[in-house]
Chains A and B, each alone.
Chain A
Amino acid sequence: KQEVTQIPAALSVPEGENLVLNCSFTDSAIYNLQWFRQDPGKGLTSLLLIQSSQREQTSGRLNASLDKSSGRSTLYIAASQPGDSATYLCAVRGTGGSYIPTFGRGTSLIVHP
Chain B
Amino acid sequence: DTAVSQTPKYLVTQMGNDKSIKCEQNLGHDTMYWYKQDSKKFLKIMFSYNNKELIINETVPNRFSPKSPDKAHLNLHINSLELGDSAVYFCASSLSSGYTFGSGTRLTVV
Contact = CB atoms under 8 A, between A and B. Distances in A.
A46 B100 contact: yes
B104 interface: yes
B48 A46 contact: no
Interface in A56-113: 87, 89, 91, 98, 100-101, 103, 105-106
A44 B103 CA distance: 7
Interface in B44-76: 45, 48, 55-56
A98 B48 contact: yes
Interface in B32-49: 33, 40-43, 45, 48
A34 B96 CA distance: 13
A46 B90 CA distance: 14
A103 B42 contact: yes
Interface residues of B, number: 20
Contacts of A101: 99
Given A89-B43, A100-B48, A106-B41, A46 B99 contact: yes
A1 interface: no
B104 A43 contact: yes
Nearest to B106: A41
B103 A34 contact: no
B97 A49 contact: yes
A44 B90 contact: yes
A28 interface: no
A89 B42 CA distance: 10
Interface of B: 33, 40-43, 45, 48, 55-56, 90, 92, 97-104, 106
Interface of A: 32, 34, 36, 38, 41-46, 49, 51, 87, 89, 91, 98, 100-101, 103, 105-106
**Pairs A-B, 5 closest by C-beta atoms:** A43-B103, A49-B98, A44-B101, A103-B43, A43-B101
